[in-house]
């Protein structure tokens, strides 16, 4: 995968930057193409309870809604862990840039204590030859004041503004985030998730926390034991068995749904 710089395309409003990017892949948009929107009308999270997509709080000109097109040389079965690789790289960059003590909540969210700061949504685009591109979407709460969040979200969400008291230059931040995402994709392509092991360990704060895993319509209780190199959440159940959960609904005590 080439290491060319990000090429930002800024739009005032769209339904979803991931949709823009996926459509652009079909038009041969090059690696490093980035869509940034001032507002989204249908931004979405990874999943909700029952598999329904969850909307993202998207006030105009406050946050970052962006999607990056990467064209790594990967088999399809290696695509999913890119979400964790990107998340670890973003957590590292944002903590260094802002001083905010944030962490990565498996499989795709950035948190500050118990409040969500942002989320990553990765979608592979396939064609006759296999993987054609990976679209990495990022929603990040940037310049929202704490009291701007809807009342029901205030205990659950935060922003860089709320945490630092400072306004960020969103375009400058978008460029830095884009370069971080592209660098993480290149690193993942060459090293796999092993190249992110120290960052994953540093930013994963779930080990030792009680979790509930939905299996066959019912929840099974266990304890989180870290992130495996296959990209799954390692869970130890009461019988001592440790299973690496790759997908599905996992609830973490006191933090909410891992599919937020």
Q: Beta-strand (E) ranges in 31-161?
A: 33-40, 64-70, 102-105, 109-112, 115-127, 130-140
State the pLDDT at residue 140: 96
State the pLDDT at residue 43: 55
39-93: pLDDT as tens digits: 887 655 544 444 444 555 677 889 999 999 999 999 999 999 999 999 999 999 9
H-helix or E-strand spanning residue 31: none
User: Is residue 39 one of the residues assigned to a domain?
Assistant: yes
Query: 125 and 28 in one domain?
Result: yes
The CATH number that applies at residue 115 is: 3.30.930.10
Query: 126 and 75 in one domain?
Result: yes
- Rounded to whole angstroms, the Cα distance separating 202 from 172 reads 26
Range of the domain at 239: 210-257
User: Is residue 2 one of the residues assigned to a domain?
Assistant: no
Q: Record the tokens describing residue 163, joined without a space.
A: 């945490």
State the pLDDT at residue 42: 64
H-helix or E-strand spanning residue 128: none
State the pLDDT at residue 6: 80
Query: 167 and 252 in one domain?
Result: no
Give the count of domains, the chain: 2
H-helix or E-strand spanning residue 19: helix 17-26
Residues of the chain whose pLDDT is less than 70? 1-4, 42-57, 256-260
Residue with tokens 């006030």: 59
> Last residue of some domain: 203, 222, 242?
203
User: Is residue 1 one of the residues assigned to a domain?
Assistant: no
Query: 199 and 227 in one domain?
Result: no
pTM of this prediction? 0.90
């Amino acid at each position: 995968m080439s290491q060319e710089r990000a090429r930002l395309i800024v739009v005032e409003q769209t339904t979803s930057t991931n949709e823009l990017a996926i459509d652009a892949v079909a038009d041969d948009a090059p690696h490093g193409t980035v869509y940034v929107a001032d507002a989204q009308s249908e931004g979405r999270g990874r999943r909700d309870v029952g598999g329904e997509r969850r909307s993202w709080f998207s006030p105009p000109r406050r946050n970052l809604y962006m999607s990056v097109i990467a064209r790594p040389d990967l088999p399809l079965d290696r695509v999913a862990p890119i979400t964790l690789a990107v998340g670890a790289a973003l957590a590292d960059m944002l903590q260094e840039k802002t001083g905010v003590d944030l962490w990565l909540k498996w499989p795709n969210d950035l948190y500050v204590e118990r409040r969500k700061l942002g989320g990553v949504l990765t979608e592979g685009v396939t064609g006759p030859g296999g993987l054609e591109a990976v679209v990495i979407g990022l929603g990040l709460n940037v310049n929202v004041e704490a009291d701007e969040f809807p009342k029901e979200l205030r205990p659950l969400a935060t922003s860089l503004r709320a945490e630092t008291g400072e306004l960020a230059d969103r375009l400058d931040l978008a460029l830095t985030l884009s370069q971080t995402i592209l660098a993480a994709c290149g690193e993942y392509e060459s090293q796999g998730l092993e190249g992110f092991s120290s960052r994953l360990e540093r930013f994963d704060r779930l080990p030792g926390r009680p979790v509930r895993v939905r299996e066959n319509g019912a929840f099974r209780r266990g304890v989180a034991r870290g992130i495996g190199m296959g990209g799954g959440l390692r869970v130890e159940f009461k019988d001592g068995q440790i299973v690496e959960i790759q997908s599905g609904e996992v609830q973490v005590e006191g933090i909410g749904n891992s599919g937020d």
